[in-house]
Amino acid sequence: MVTAAAGLTLLALLGGVAYAVWAARQRNKPVSKARRFKHALSRMIDEPHKVAKSEPTVPEKILAAAGTAAATILVKKMMERAFDTAGRQRPANRA
């Protein structure tokens, strides 16, 4: 019974892989690509507001500003630390 279940599981896995390969080949055919492109164009024409947003929302703007500020502070601290470390490693008397 266990052998039959293992064999059935293996057969199902191999069948799934074979189907995935076949489906990928079907998707790459020019006719299929044209059909998907036509479908995408019709969706864009029907609902253009879902294709791309014209402006970011206020929370998105606030989040972007906060992220930029945090990144700036982080990079500044890292640069200060790197220059301090590099300054300490050089000898004091340079000729």
35 and 57 housed in the same domain: no
1 and 31 housed in the same domain: yes
The residue assigned the tokens 């609902």 is: 47
Residue 95 lies in a domain: no
Q: For residue 93, name the pLDDT band (cuts at 50, 70, 90).
A: low
Mean pLDDT of all residues in 80-88? 85
- DSSP at 51: T
Mean pLDDT of the chain: 89
- In this predicted structure, what is the pLDDT of residue 73? 97
- C-alpha distances in Å from residue 89, one per residue of 73, 84, 93: 25, 9, 12
Sign of CA dihedral 41, 43, 46, 47: negative
pLDDT digits (tens, 9 = 90+) for 31-74: 999 999 999 999 999 988 888 777 888 999 999 999 999 999 99
41 and 63 housed in the same domain: no
Rounded Cα distance between 44 and 51, Å, is: 6
Sign of CA dihedral 70, 76, 80, 81: positive
Overall domain count for the chain: 2
47 and 20 housed in the same domain: yes
Domain span at 58: 53-90
Residue 86 lies in a domain: yes
1 and 14 housed in the same domain: yes
Task: Reply yes or no on whether the pLDDT at 95 is more than 60.
Answer: no
Which pTM value belongs to this model?
0.39
Residue 79 lies in a domain: yes
Please give the full DSSP string across 2-26, using - where no structure is assigned: HHHHHHHHHHHHHHHHHHHHHHHHH
